[in-house]
A and B are shown apart, each in its own frame.
Chain A
Amino acid sequence: MAFESFNEFIAMGGHAPYVWAAWGVTGALLVAVVLHARAERRLLLRNLQRRVRREERQGANRGEMAGVSHQTGGNHHDT
């Protein structure tokens, strides 16, 4: 242990502002990067699920309408 007490550790021999600023910014950025990656993944999975569900619904609708009118090609225009 390079320090006698916890207060001494915090004070960093008078270099506290420099040491803690450098370490703080580094730590904050690493955490932010991980949180961003997690949010990104969740969002993409959710969007993908939503799209797959929507297209399944549209697919089902199109299937019903196929027998009625083929020319309009189902309900493409409602989105």
Chain B
Amino acid sequence: MWAFINKLRSPKWFYAIGARLQPFFWVAAAALILVGTVWGLAFAPADYQQGNSFRIIYVHVPAAFLAQSIFVSMAMCGLVYMVWKIKVADMAAAMMAPLGAAMTFVSLFSGAVWGVPTWGTWWMWDARLTSMLILLFLFLGVIALRGAFSSRDSASRAASVLAMVGVINIPIIKYSVDWWYTLHQPATFSITGRAAMPMEMWAPLLIMVLGFYSFFIALTLMRTRSEILRRESNKRWVRDLAGEKR
């Protein structure tokens, strides 16, 4: 295990292993999202109260889950970078931030659109909605902070610290619906409790969630490999690579 982690430290190894793992996650993402989309949009039964607007859940919940997981991953990468000085961790953190911002935006947007027919409003300063908006600002802050330094090391350290501090927002998002129950409904899924929906409704949701996670892994592998080309372009093995590819 430690040998494997030590190999992952080196950008060269990450580049090679990433190339091997990437196709698997792309195929999984495409298949899961396709099945989840067809099932969720056309086959899942309409909700007896919300009708077909309920189908927004199949993009809303996966995006919201993924947005939070990306922030946690980013904070963990920040920790790994700060403690062990593993550059690949910092590269991965830098590459996942924009997708995190995009997913947070998707969850806010789909939630707002869903709110109109369901709650009669697209926005309220509800605890869940507000803490998700803060998550969006945290993502944008991490991205902006990286761009604000001329030294890459300073930028990486600042972004890592902000991610590690900002991760406190994640439990606030999670428990916001229980602590301040105003507008947003409590959790749809729980690991321990019984599902609040029939199987025909939650199965496509689970598939979509897994699809979104696969998409995130595939994209992060791909973009981290690109980032290695950018940052390690002076290394011998990267220059040899330029000769091989096309």
B44 at interface (Cβ–Cβ under 8 A)? yes
Chain B residue contacts of A44, Cβ below 8 A = 226, 229-230
Contact pick for B102, options A19, A21, A29, CB 8 Å: A29
Please determine whether B102 and A25 come into contact, CB atoms closer than 8 angstroms. no
Q: Are B109 and A25 in contact (CB under 8 A)?
A: yes
Q: How many residues on the A side are at the interface (Cβ–Cβ under 8 A)?
A: 28
Query: If the complex has contacts A25-B109, A26-B110, A48-B229, are A41 and B222 also in contact, measured as CB distance less than 8 A?
Result: yes
Look across to chain B and name the residue whose beta carbon is closest to the beta carbon of A46.
Answer: B246
- Among candidates A13, A21, A49, A51, residue contacting B52 with C-beta atoms closer than 8 Å: A13
**Which of A32-40, A60-68, A69-77 faces chain B?**
A32-40
Q: Are A37 and B117 in contact (CB under 8 A)?
A: no
Docked CA distance A18–B46 (Å) = 14
Flag if A26 contacts B59 (CB, 8 Å): yes
Give the segment of B150-158, B171-179, B235-243 that binds chain A. B235-243
Q: A45 → chain B, closest Cβ, in Å?
A: 6
| Cβ–Cβ contact A34 & B56, under 8 A | no
- The A interface is mostly helix, strand or loop, or mixed, namely helix
- Shortest distance between the CB of B30 and any CB in chain A (Å): 10
Question: Are the C-beta atoms of A34 and B41 separated by less than 8 Å?
Answer: no
B contact residues, total (Cβ < 8 Å): 43
Residue from A9, A30, A48 having most chain B Cβ neighbours under 10 A? A30
What's the nearest-Cβ distance from chain B to residue A71, in Å? 26
Given the complex, which residues of A lie within 8 Å of B60, measured CB to CB?
22
Q: How many Å lie between the Cα of A23 and that of B226 in the bound state?
A: 29
Contact check: which of B114, B229, B230, B238 meets A22 at CB < 8 Å? B114
Residues A30 and B215 in contact in the complex (CB < 8 Å), given A18-B116, A44-B230, A52-B242: yes
List of A residues within 8 angstroms of B12 by Cβ: none
Q: Are B46 and A2 in contact (CB under 8 A)?
A: yes
> Is there an interface contact between B42 and A15, defined as CB atoms closer than 8 Å?
no
Tell me whether B52 and A15 are in contact (CB under 8 A): yes
Contact between B215 and A22, CB atoms less than 8 A apart = no
- Are B239 and A19 in touch, CB under 8 angstroms? no
Given A2-B43, A45-B229: A33 touches B110 (CB 8 Å cut-off)? no
Residues of B within 8 A of A52 (CB): 239, 242-243
The answer to whether B229 touches A2, judged by C-beta atoms less than 8 angstroms apart, is no
Which residue of chain A lies nearest to B225 when distances are taken between CB atoms in the complex?
A41
Q: Which residues of B contact A34 (CB under 8 A)?
A: 219
Cα of A51 to Cα of B223 in the assembled complex, Å: 21
Measured in the bound complex, the distance between the Cα atoms of B243 and A3 in whole Å is 55
Residue B217, interface by CB 8 Å: no
Residue of A13, A34, A37, A51 most packed against chain B (CB within 10 A): A37
Task: Report the bound CA distance from A29 to B110 in whole Å.
Answer: 12
Q: Chain B's nearest CB lies how many Å from the CB of A32?
A: 8
What would 5 more interface pairs be, CB under 8 Å, given A26-B63, A52-B242?
Answer: A15-B51, A15-B53, A26-B110, A33-B219, A34-B219
